[in-house]
Amino acid sequence: MRGDYSTTAFWYQTEPHRPLEVLPRPDQRRPRAPVLNILQWGLLLVAGLTVIALLCVLILSLRPA
């Protein structure tokens, strides 16, 4: 699992406009640490397993005795 993300943005603007903000330095624009990505995947996995468990409980409760 890698934390590679990319995006494309289109900007349509009429003139005149105010000056654009200065971008942060490259070292301040780095993506978040991979540890956060692993934690996010873990939370998604737990949420998915919870949904599956709840569906199993619902299906078993609807079965005729």
Q: Please tell me the predicted confidence (pLDDT) of residue 1.
A: 55
User: Which residues are within 8 A (CB) of 32 and not within 5 positions of it... i.e. 6 or more apart?
Assistant: 3
How does DSSP classify residue 11?
A: -
Q: Is 17 helix (H, G, I), strand (E, B) or coil?
A: coil
pLDDT, block means (10 residues), the chain with 65 residues: 77 84 84 72 91 92 81
Q: Is 44 helix (H, G, I), strand (E, B) or coil?
A: helix
Q: Please tell me the predicted confidence (pLDDT) of residue 48.
A: 92
Asked if 41 and 1 touch (Cβ cutoff 8 Å), the reply is yes
Q: Please tell me the predicted confidence (pLDDT) of residue 47.
A: 93
To the question of pTM greater than 0.75 for the whole model, the response is no
